[in-house]
Amino acid sequence: MRIAYFDCFSGISGDMILGAFIDLGLDLDTLTHHLSKMKLSGYEIAVSREKRGSITGTRLNIQVEEDKQPHRSMAEIRQIIGESKLPDQIKETTLTILERLARVEGNLHQQSPEDVHFHEIGAVDSIVDMVGACIGLHLLDIKKVLASPLPLGRGFVQCQHGMLPLPAPATLALLEDTPVYDSGQQREMVTPTGAAILTTICSEYGGFPTMSITKVGYGVGRHPEDHPPNLLRVVLGQKTIEAVKEKLLMVETSIDDMNPELYGHVMEQLLNAGGLDVNLLPAQMKKNRPGQLLRVLLPEGLRETVLQILFSETTTLGVRIQEVERYSLPRHTIRVQTTFGNLPVKVADNSQGNYVFAPEYDACQRAAGKHQVPLRQVYEEAIFKAKEGLSKEKKTKSKGSRKKS
């Protein structure tokens, strides 16, 4: 799964996002072709290579013909995007971004979001930035966005509403529940457009994710400062498996003189005590006697308990213990309603955009016996219902996030 990490060490704005996407390989002609699908005119896109400090990136500048731009309400902008021939995915994400921004502006100025007018000179370039960012996500095939905490600047900014303190009120409202820190810079670090885009498309904030890096792009900002250089770094890569790492103990013993009937009881005792896994393997013992290798995987805290069980329930005279590392996929259990009853299914995310499903054996076995059907039939329906349920849950969450915004 392709992911993008937004390293916002010098803030973020709409033009920096588009600049970084072009730096990553988003074709300018293809971008402008998609943008032309909207009935929006009176602007031109200029792209250049510029340096900030010792790093070269892509600077994107949207030049607007001021006298050709009416004051558009949210309802009018929604109509422009809705009637465009853009792919539905781009329309949906763009409208979510715009509606969040309109809701914030409406709350600040005591207006309905539908009546909010984007009357700044930059209104057109903000629309292009938002639509362009969504086009970039689509064409670069980015499935997931993560970002660093955002640096905030100090001072004041002049806008249509007069002099406003930094961060701008709209920016702060958009950054609710987003990790931020004081950059110490006397300038605007995060613009409302940049905040609206990032907080809509980003699912996690923090340090660099576990990933295989494929390409790095730099979007150049309008400020010439070199400390830090005014750049947005976007890192593309493939998400690798994020397995959970644990330090565990492996206890094993070789047995060749025990009644085989007792092994089932011993394994049950070890699992009930908290053993994570118990294996019984055939082994060839000394003097060519056939025997069994009994292995138990357990947390360190169960060492004494497991030793007590092995020495009291088996004929072993000694055991071997070694520390091992276990990597496992994150998992959780869901319950699904089937024709055979309500059944538990383990779900693990393999970090490649796919899920692994494992119905609980005991529950499925009971259901198969009760309904007199093959166990495999119960398994297959449980997995089908689990996949169906997760698909519906994703769609519901997506609709809910749009309504909330």
3-state secondary structure the chain: CEEEEEECECEECHHHHHHHHHHCCCCHHHHHHHHCCCCCCCEEEEEEEEEECCEEEEEEEEEECHHHCCCEEHHHHHHHHHCCCCCHHHHHHHHHHHHHHHHHHHHHCCCCHHHCEECCCCHHHHHHHHHHHHHHHHHCCCCEEEECCEEECCCEEEECCEEEECCCHHHHHHCCCCCEEECCCCCCCECHHHHHHHHHHEEEECCCCCEEEEEEEEEECCCCCECCECEEEEEEEEECCCCEEEEEEEEEEEECCCCHHHHHHHHHHHHHCCCCEEEEEEEECHHHCEEEEEEEEECHHHHHHHHHHHHHHCCCCCCEEEEEEEEECCEEEEEEEECCEEEEEEEEECCCCCEEEEECHHHHHHHHHHHCCCHHHHHHHHHHHHHHHHHHHHHHHHHHHHHHC
Give the tens place of pLDDT for each residue, 93-138: 999 999 898 888 878 777 766 666 665 434 788 899 999 999 999 9
Q: Which CATH class is domain 331-404?
A: alpha beta
Give the tens place of pLDDT for each residue, 17-26: 999 999 999 9
Rounded to 10 degrees, what is the CA torsion of 76, 82, 89, 23? -50
Query: Residue 118 has what pLDDT?
Result: 60
Give the tens place of pLDDT for each residue, 187-217: 999 999 999 999 999 999 999 988 899 999 9
**Domain residue extents for the chain:** 2-239, 244-328, 331-404
Q: How many CB atoms lie within 10 A of CB 239?
A: 18
- Say whether pLDDT at 54 is over 60: yes
Average pLDDT taken over every residue of the chain: 89
pLDDT bin (cut points 50, 70, 90) of residue 227 is confident
Give the tens place of pLDDT for each residue, 90-103: 999 999 999 898 88
Was domain 244-328 assigned CATH 3.30.70.1380? yes
